[in-house]
Amino acid sequence: MNSVQFLHPVFTITILILIGYSFLEVYGSEIKNYKSVWFVVILLIIFSGFRKGVGADYPIYQSMYSYFPLHTDFSEIFSKALFQKNSLDIEWFYLFFNNLFFLLGLPFFIFTAFVATVAIIPKFYTIEKNVAYPATGLLLYIIPAYFIADCGQIRQGLAMGLAIFSFKYIKERNLLMFLIVMYFALGFHKSTVVFFPAYWLVKVPLTKTKIIALVLFCILISPLQIYDYLGFLNSIAPQEVYQGYSDYISIEGPSGGGIKFFDLITLLYIFFIIVLDKETCQKIPYYEYMRNLGICGVCIYFVMRGSPIFSTRLPGIYMFFAALILPNNLAVIEDTKYKKFLHLILVLFVVFYYFVFGNYQATNGKFTPDSYQNYLWN
């Protein structure tokens, strides 16, 4: 029997600190934004940005760092930015910074530090601006998105950061700025094209009945694997850099049919959304926007669940909004005992997910005590 696997102490302690902040938020007599949580964000940037050989895709990105500057020039990059056909397979905005940092003679870990900063700050900025309990939102985001996107899939982590930031302009109904931000997000990773409809999706009126019907419909059509008939998906969710995290854990039933671990997570999200929808819509500004995007992520996941790549890459940006939705759901509950009970469920869920991730994915990603390394102290 395998022993329980812990993450490296820097991650374990960070998660414990956020759990502490989460209790302060929920158990406090009034809603308070603890600005000191930004210190935790800085730590997350350091742990991701200065990591050494850590993350499933790290070796490939490290080799790309020196390869592309020697085989591409900026004219090719800018032609790709103008959507002109060329031989480049990697997105133009990522290549621009990759080549720039390399040609300036900067080591790869300086580039990854830049990447971590650009990827993480917009995400927490969005959480802080839209969530009553920001630390709780960050806690829900960390496992597994921080490890998979910000410490693994570098391009998608960058693209997610900008796409999430565009939520600011969705709220303001500023279509031009939304499109500009999304253009640059697309320049980091083409999978962000799935988020372009978000500007209009937030305005779709949804009731509890419609939400349940939508989710059930997507679950029912999941076995049809309709993505097999949508060839264009291969171009927006490329497989050229995809290792280590392509499969979520399956919990096998007696019949041999698999219920994926992420199925249970999405159902937990749906429970919170349905049960607390009315109160949260009344009390949290723009909650309907966050809810619609979160529901969209759940629907995309179930439709694509048969494909390890599509079910993780395509709904990722939409699923981020669970980190905004659930803490806001908690914040509107007036019954103190009920609020604390649901908060405890979320904390236990995070702890459980910590050990699931530690035992099934942390070793391959090198996030364990004996494998994680950082340029600042190794």
- pLDDT digit string, tens, across residues 179-215: 999 999 999 999 999 999 999 999 999 999 999 999 9
Query: Would you say residue 240 lies in a domain?
Result: yes
Containing structural domain, residue 196? 9-365
Rounded Cα distance between 23 and 240, Å, is 41
Our count of domains for the chain comes to 1
Rounded Cα distance between 16 and 18, Å, is 5
Rounded Cα distance between 269 and 301, Å, is 13
Query: Would you say residue 377 lies in a domain?
Result: no
Query: Would you say residue 355 lies in a domain?
Result: yes
Residue 150 has a pLDDT of 93
| Token reading at 181 | 């931000």
Hey, what amino acid is at 335?
Answer: D
Query: Would you say residue 259 lies in a domain?
Result: yes
Per-residue pLDDT of the chain (378 residues; tens, 9 = 90+): 467 889 999 999 999 999 999 999 999 988 888 999 999 999 999 999 999 999 888 999 999 999 999 999 999 999 999 999 888 889 999 999 999 999 999 999 999 999 999 999 999 999 999 999 999 999 999 988 999 889 988 999 999 999 999 999 999 999 999 999 999 999 999 999 999 999 999 999 999 999 999 999 999 998 888 877 676 566 665 554 444 444 433 333 333 445 677 888 898 999 999 999 999 999 999 999 999 999 999 999 999 888 777 777 789 999 999 999 999 999 999 999 999 999 999 999 999 999 999 988 888 889 999 999 999 998
Q: What pTM, to 2 d.p., does this model score?
A: 0.92
Query: Would you say residue 375 lies in a domain?
Result: no
Positive or negative torsion for Cα 287, 151, 148, 348: negative
| Token reading at 276 | 């607390």
Residue 264 has a pLDDT of 85
Query: Would you say residue 202 lies in a domain?
Result: yes
Query: Would you say residue 125 lies in a domain?
Result: yes
Query: Would you say residue 374 lies in a domain?
Result: no
